[in-house]
Structure 1
Amino acid sequence: MNLLDISREFTTDEQCLAFLENQKWPTGVVRCPTCGNNKISRVVRKTSATTKNKRAQLYQCLEKTCKQQFSATSGTIFHDSHLPILTWFMAVSLVMDAKKGMSALQIQKHLGIGSYQTAWHMVHRIREAMAEQNPKPMTGIVEMDETYLGGRSKRRHRAKPRAPKDMIVAMRERSDKRSEGRVRYFHVPNGKVETISALVKKNIDPYINRIYTDQAAVYDFALNRELSKKHRTVNHSIEWVVPGSRIHTNTVESSFSLLKRGLIGSFHRVSTKHLQRYLNEFEYRFNERHSTQKFSIAVNRMCQTKPLPYKTLTSDSDPLF
């Protein structure tokens, strides 16, 4: 569903809320987000000049100890937002369909959002929700590699200390009948054995066919005994990939190319603190590139994700890792 389809299908806030209800409660059973009770009553609120920013379709929990009023946006990234849900849907479509990403400033101009801070908060909420919850382990043939973003400035005379580079680890399946060619990006604090081993254990099926990496020594220690038997390496300094050879990491490296072009071309500069959210965006867009339901999938994830508070987004006290 592209931007034109959204403008045709959704014209009122009620239609947007009905779509959210189908995504949040696909079985049709409405449950209270506070206590989980399914005994609820519907409250119909008539919109007026004084309630134009409030949701028209409300529910109230009938549990005596709860009595909570809620709507389809409660507990989602759309909660406590004064923007119309249609504006949110259009923003999701713009972020989802822009191959190399779209800046908050450009989204602000396209959608007529009042301030840059509002648009910036909106897109980071969307990126936060694009992360796949409880993803399936990668199967088949998996390539794994690392890259770096940012780093030292080339200017000779610089008053401020030079910033360290940010390390990104990527895993990508090769497309075949058993796998979908998915990719995953991880912003990691370092390339130590403990860090890489934890990623491998959580995200790669131990019964895969092969795992291909470069000759970085960390992989020899990070892979368990089962995966070590299926591990093959490529020495980029002396070898080139022979046509027809299956031992290479070109597949995962090609995803780095698109990622870097997007980060540099669309966003120019990305904060270390928010880097993982940008990786979530590029990961989702890549993995759902052939899907005809990518808008519905994105909105479904946003219905399962709690809103990201602005104070948390701008706070410096939260640890990066």
Structure 2
Amino acid sequence: MNLLNFIATYPDEESCRTKFKEYRDQQGVICPKCGHKEQYWKQDKSSYECKHCHYRQSLRANTVIHGSNLPFRYWFIAIHLLTSTKKSFSAAELQRQLGHKRYEPIWYLLHKLRGIMGKRDEQYSLLGVLELDEGFFSTQTQEEEKTETQKRGRGSQKKSKVLVMAESQPVEGETTKNGKPRKVGHIKMIVIKDLKSATITTLVREYPKNQALILTTQPLMSN
């Protein structure tokens, strides 16, 4: 979904809230008190009520946005940016784009989302042919990011080395100078201490189901 489609689909707070409830209902809401799965929706209270013990929980309860007072649309915007943009962005930049006064809630929002995405990725096993590449991501503490003392693009910024592994499958289409067209499946990104052959080989061997590896950049492995 591109940015224009996102804005058209989620134009306001109510549309995001409605979609969030739809997701919750699809996943199933469980009473944290008795474990019962059948719930009433109390429209006037904007909460669920257990049919068994009548315990009530809010729409946000026991989800990634539990305890947050930020608008639903903030969360939807952040999720869209995290999943649709290639380059990383800071909490300070998101705060600026949203026009939010306080930095800490926005940092917490991104921290929670990135944590959830990392746990989700751990559940996937990569299959078939893989493409490998290297990445470098800026690493900052919350205070460093807030004050932005490190200038964007400066070579002395703290950088984390990341090995990127992506499932790669051929698709129909004309062959170009870059080869036959392929599509990307699941992706794993792993922080590594260096880009030496031994380090990368050790990680690759953890995925015995792979049939082959395609290296997308020549300088990926060093001795």
TM-score normalised by L of structure 1: 0.47
Distance 2:14 2:23 in 1: 14
2:111 paired with 1:113: no
2:124 paired with 1:135: yes
Q: Secondary structure at the match of 1:114?
A: coil
Distance 1:43 1:96 in 2: 32
Q: Secondary structure at the match of 1:25?
A: helix
- Equivalent position amino acid for 1:38 in 2: K
Question: What corresponds to 1:304 in structure 2?
Answer: none
TM-aligned CA deviation for residue 84 of structure 1: 1.0
Q: Secondary structure at the match of 2:42?
A: strand
- C-alpha deviations, 1:68-97, integer Å up to 9, x for none? 322332222211111110122123233333
Question: What corresponds to 2:46 in structure 1?
Answer: 57
TM-aligned CA deviation for residue 133 of structure 1: 4.9
Question: What corresponds to 2:163 in structure 1?
Answer: 169
Question: What corresponds to 1:21 in structure 2?
Answer: 21
Distance 2:159 2:74 in 1: 36
Q: Secondary structure at the match of 2:101?
A: coil
- Equivalent position amino acid for 1:42 in 2: W
Question: What corresponds to 1:87 in structure 2?
Answer: 74
Question: What corresponds to 1:99 in structure 2?
Answer: 86
TM-aligned CA deviation for residue 121 of structure 1: 1.6
- Equivalent position amino acid for 1:57 in 2: S
- Equivalent position amino acid for 2:216 in 1: N
Question: What corresponds to 1:187 in structure 2?
Answer: 191
Report the CA distance shift for 1:111/1:2 in structure 2 as closer, same or farther (over 3 A): farther
Q: Give the structure with the higher percent strand.
A: 2
- C-alpha deviations, 1:32-55, integer Å up to 9, x for none? 35554123222233xxxxxxxxxx
Q: Secondary structure at the match of 1:209?
A: strand
Q: Secondary structure at the match of 1:109?
A: helix
Question: What corresponds to 1:276 in structure 2?
Answer: none
TM-aligned CA deviation for residue 6 of structure 1: 4.0
Check the 8 A contact 1:148/1:165 in 2, yes or no: yes
Report the CA distance shift for 1:76/1:252 in structure 2 as closer, same or farther (over 3 A): farther
2:63 paired with 1:76: yes
Q: Secondary structure at the match of 2:15?
A: helix
Report the CA distance shift for 1:174/1:10 in structure 2 as closer, same or farther (over 3 A): closer
Residue pairs, 1:232-251, within 5 angstroms:
249-250=215-216
- For the aligned residue pairs, the C-alpha RMSD in angstroms reads 3.9
2:20 paired with 1:31: no
Q: Secondary structure at the match of 2:170?
A: coil
Check the 8 A contact 2:126/2:209 in 1, yes or no: no
Distance 1:34 1:196 in 2: 47
- Unpaired runs of 5+ residues, structure 1, are 46-55, 151-163, 213-248, 255-321
TM-aligned CA deviation for residue 111 of structure 1: 1.0
- Unpaired runs of 5+ residues, structure 2, are 139-157, 172-181
TM-aligned CA deviation for residue 8 of structure 1: 3.6
- Equivalent position amino acid for 2:31 in 1: C
Q: Secondary structure at the match of 2:165?
A: strand
> RCO greater where, 1 or 2, for CA within 8 Å and sep 6 or more?
1
Check the 8 A contact 2:126/2:186 in 1, yes or no: no
Distance 1:144 1:10 in 2: 35
Percent identity between matched residues is: 24
Of structures 1 and 2, the larger Rg is shown by 1
